[in-house]
Structure 1
Amino acid sequence: MRNDWSGQHFPHPPGRRPVVGDVLGADPAQPLQSTMRRAGGLGPIFELHVFDQKFVFVSSAELAAELADESRFQKALSPALVALREFAGAGLFTAYNDETDWALAHDLLRPAFTRDSMRGYHPIMLAAAQELFDSWDAGTGPVDVAADMTRLTMETISRTAFSHDFGSFSRAEPHPFIPAMIAALRAGQRKGSLNAMPGSALMARRIDKRNAHHQAYVDRLLDDIIAERRAEGAAKKDDLLGIMLDTPHPQTGEKLDDLNIRHQILTFLVAGHETTSGALSFALYYLSRNPALMATAHEEVDRILGPDRDAEPTFEQVPKFRYLRRVLDEGLRLWPTAPAFARSPRATTTLSTGHVMRPQDWALVMLPMVHRDPAVWGPDADEFDPDRFSPERSRGRVAHSYKPFGTGERSCIGRQFALHEAILVLARVLRRYDLTPDPGYELRITERLTLMPEGFELWLSPRR
């Protein structure tokens, strides 16, 4: 975990102190945003010391593209992902590169995201969206956009991953699994943030003790679901769990064991719902604040879906919402919901900056900064403009300058699933409702495992 870069030094913010390093200028509630604020003038690569841990950050598109070269570099696990392993084990997102179950799971699950498989998920996505709309229609007052998008995407991924309904729109209180999962996840995050501090081992044991029952409940529920499905035998289902249980590797004949299946389900639940709900929330925020952009989105939705506000897009129609796709892409450019990824070299190499990087060294690619690099995105890089992703403006753009789903062989396997769901939901919301924001609201970003608007509400009225 120590990241000493053989003693090399990088630019860092002013105010470094003995022992604590650069801690005094950090905001523990907003580590990413406070790092972005402190990075001004530090150049394409810089460092922060947190006690005895060195964090090296990459902020330029040119250097990020260099680290995206799969022949020289590969995925590394940052302290946050190492901490997440205690929750999600060797899942697709948290496995080390040399763990064989990662490659096995990736090969087995790749067919689950083909066009034919996506066609089977389409009606499940529509049904979950309708439940959200029914709850909105029955309510009064504004809706909490991020909270409701998170409920929606959790239901969608749980039903498509292992055919389980958590009742997010029918229960008065959340299913006990949801708060238990969140508590276990936050415990891992706290341990990751404490890793570099003196006495971290003692604090980690205390966190483990307080949260052991949450982790045990999550593990037990998923293990029971897996065991019940195994007991069904011939009653197979075409969901992700069914694929993991019933499909051998086409070359080796291997199958995943039950522990790794649990880790993969947890990975899909955690990584698969928060990222998509954040993408939807940012898209709705920016559209609702800009009447001209909203009018363009409405024109496309009305043209494709027709006059019926209850019209549901067909599977074939979803890729036709090209402007909505640009809106989602632009929201993910400014606020990529998975905001960073770490890279290490396959062998000792020298970066274009002149720094020598060894396989045990890692750097965090800061996507909100890479995605705002004026050398690629222009002097207005901080402004929301979906037309940046029009074909004519995208042509010739620097490779690897837009990476909201990660990079290389370890990039997000569910990218098409997330985009299909997000476009489908966005189209239905815009066709069905007029959206009125609070004019006094200013965007606040909460940092969990992902980025999400905080306190963002909309008033809904039936659209004529």
Structure 2
Amino acid sequence: MRNDWSGQTFPHPSGRRPIVGDALGAEVRAPLQSTMRRAEGLGPIFELQVFDQKFVFVTGAELAAELADESRFAKGLSPALVALREFAGQGLFTAYNDETNWALAHDLLRPAFTKAAMQRYHPVMLAAAQELFDTWDGREGSVDVSADMTKLTMETISRTAFSTDFGSFSRAEPHPFIPAMIAALKAGQRKGSLNAMPGAGLMAKRIDKKNAHHQAYVDSLLDGIIAERRNASEPDDSDLLGIMLHTPHPETGERLDDLNIRHQILTFLVAGHETTSGALSFALYYLSRDPAVLAKAQAEVDQVLGPDRDAEPTFEQVAKFRYLRRVLDEGLRLWPTAPAFTRSPRETTVLSTGHTMRPEDWAIVILPLMHRDPAVWGDDADAFDPDRFLPENSRGRKPHSYKPFGTGERSCIGRQFALHEAILVLARMLHRYDIAGDPAYELQIAERLTLMPTGFELSLTPRTPSVVASVDEAQAEPSEVCPASSIDQSGFHATSHGCPSGSAK
């Protein structure tokens, strides 16, 4: 894991000290945000030295696009992801590129994100959203947006992944699986953050000992569910677990073993709920701060769903919320909830900066900075403007300049699931409620595995939708434009980048 880049050096913040290097300038609770602040004036590539570990960061869109070239580069695992492997094993997110289970799981799970599969998940998403709204309707005062969005997305992914209801909206206390999973995840994160420090091995053992009962509970519960489903008299492939249990590889006939199935479920639970809840929370934050954007979004949902505030969008209608999709895209541009990805070369190569990079070297692309590169996004790159993603404004934008779902063959396989869920929830919520935030609130971001607004509350008022135009008039854009970013920002064709009708990569 030592990332020495053959001794090559890069720009770094001032104040480097002997032994500890640049560690004194980092914020333990907000390492990403402190790194973003320290990156100012250092150019498109810079380094932080933390004890004997070198971290190389990329912030420029042009250099990030170079690293996105799949013929030269592949996913690298940073120390944080290596530590997460002890929790999620060879899951899709944490597997090494050459591990056979990654390719097998990826191929087997692609059918889980086809249009037919998404149509099966749609009513599950609607039911979970209705449970959330029922709790809101019976509650007085403001709501904690991030906490409630996290409950919602956890219920959605658990029910669609392995048909389990954790009772997030009916229990007085959370299901014991959830705090155990969070504790096990935090333990892995702590080990990753300590990796470069002297005595890291001893501290890791102490963390493992303290966390062992949480990890054991998580593993045993999931193993029990897997065993019960495997031994069922009638196979059920209506959820992700059923697909993994009963679907052989179409060419080789191989199947995933039960241990790897557990790793995949853990991966979907963690990555599938935190990223979407964060995306929803950031979108709602920006909607609550801009009355014009909020009014335009509510006009769109009223035009599509009509005057009944309890109307639920059909599967086909989700694709009609194009302005909502742009709101979501712009929120993910400014604060991508999975805020970085790591790249390593397939063989020794020379970057356009003149630096030689070997397969054992890795660089971390910081997406909130890359997504703010003025060369791509203009001098107002820090401003929230959903119209950046209008087709006429996206056309001609540099490829690989927008990467909220990662890049290449290791990009998020469930991105269209997340986008469908997020748009559906936003549409129902804005159709049903007027929202208002505290004008004195200043955005604070918690850094977990993902980014999430913290302390962000909304006041909700029941609203009566108003229809001011027909649906046809509302959809002035060409019908063939996919709501999932009409321009190929990721290196894939738009119809496979989040469209309900696309195929997962």
Task: Calculate the TM-score normalised by the size of structure 2.
Answer: 0.92
Residue identity in the other structure for 1:306 = G
- Cα separation, 1, equivalents of 2:75 and 2:259: 23
CA drift at 1:231? 1.2
CA drift at 1:226? 0.1
CA drift at 1:238? 1.0
- SS of structure 2 residue aligned to 1:269: helix
Q: Hey, what does 1:191 align to over in structure 2? A: 191
Q: Hey, what does 1:264 align to over in structure 2? A: 264
Residue identity in the other structure for 1:124 = V
CA drift at 1:83? 0.5
* Contact 2:235/2:246, CA 8 A, preserved across alignment: no
Matched, 1:449 2:449: yes
Matched, 1:206 2:206: yes
Deviations 1:31-64 (A, max 9, x none): 0000000111100000000110000000000000
Q: How does 1:95-106 map to 2 (within 5 A)?
A: 95-106=95-106
- Cα separation, 2, equivalents of 1:45 and 1:425: 38
CA drift at 1:436? 1.2
Q: Hey, what does 2:357 align to over in structure 1? A: 357
- Cα separation, 1, equivalents of 2:261 and 2:413: 16
Matched, 1:427 2:427: yes
Residue identity in the other structure for 1:156 = T
Deviations 1:79-117 (A, max 9, x none): 110010000000000000010000000000001000010
Residue identity in the other structure for 2:456 = F
* Contact 2:235/2:242, CA 8 A, preserved across alignment: no
Matched, 1:347 2:336: no
Q: Hey, what does 1:395 align to over in structure 2? A: 395
- Cα separation, 2, equivalents of 1:234 and 1:426: 37
- SS of structure 1 residue aligned to 2:343: strand
Deviations 1:317-370 (A, max 9, x none): 001100000000000000000000000000000000000000000000000000
Q: How does 1:30-179 map to 2 (within 5 A)?
A: 30-179=30-179
Q: Hey, what does 1:230 align to over in structure 2? A: 230
Matched, 1:405 2:419: no
Matched, 1:289 2:326: no
- Cα separation, 2, equivalents of 1:416 and 1:288: 25
CA drift at 1:237? 3.5
Q: Hey, what does 2:321 align to over in structure 1? A: 321
Q: How does 1:216-255 map to 2 (within 5 A)?
A: 216-255=216-255
Residue identity in the other structure for 2:97 = N
- SS of structure 2 residue aligned to 1:344: strand
Percent identity of paired positions between Structure 1 and Structure 2: 82
- Cα separation, 2, equivalents of 1:236 and 1:389: 40
Residue identity in the other structure for 2:323 = Y
- Cα separation, 1, equivalents of 2:395 and 2:176: 48
- SS of structure 1 residue aligned to 2:164: coil
- Cα separation, 2, equivalents of 1:436 and 1:39: 34
Residue identity in the other structure for 2:33 = Q
- Cα separation, 1, equivalents of 2:111 and 2:84: 26
Residue identity in the other structure for 2:434 = D
- SS of structure 2 residue aligned to 1:56: strand
Q: Hey, what does 1:274 align to over in structure 2? A: 274
Q: Hey, what does 1:6 align to over in structure 2? A: 6
CA drift at 1:233? 3.1
Residue identity in the other structure for 2:55 = F
Residue identity in the other structure for 2:289 = R
Q: Hey, what does 1:439 align to over in structure 2? A: 439
- Cα separation, 2, equivalents of 1:451 and 1:210: 26
Deviations 1:380-415 (A, max 9, x none): 000000000000000000000000000000000001
CA drift at 1:128? 0.2
Residue identity in the other structure for 1:371 = H
- Cα separation, 2, equivalents of 1:34 and 1:230: 47
Residue identity in the other structure for 2:48 = L
- Cα separation, 1, equivalents of 2:434 and 2:462: 6
Residue identity in the other structure for 1:347 = E
- Cα separation, 2, equivalents of 1:456 and 1:433: 17
CA drift at 1:235? 3.8
* Contact 2:237/2:246, CA 8 A, preserved across alignment: no
Q: Hey, what does 1:22 align to over in structure 2? A: 22
Structure 1 gap ranges (5+) = none
RMSD over aligned Cα, in angstroms?
A: 0.5
Structure 2 gap ranges (5+) = 465-505
Which of structure 1's runs of 4+ aligned residues deviate more than 4 A?
none
Residue identity in the other structure for 1:295 = A
CA drift at 1:439? 1.0
- Cα separation, 1, equivalents of 2:73 and 2:37: 28
Q: Hey, what does 2:302 align to over in structure 1? A: 302
- SS of structure 2 residue aligned to 1:458: strand
CA drift at 1:66? 0.1
- SS of structure 2 residue aligned to 1:232: coil
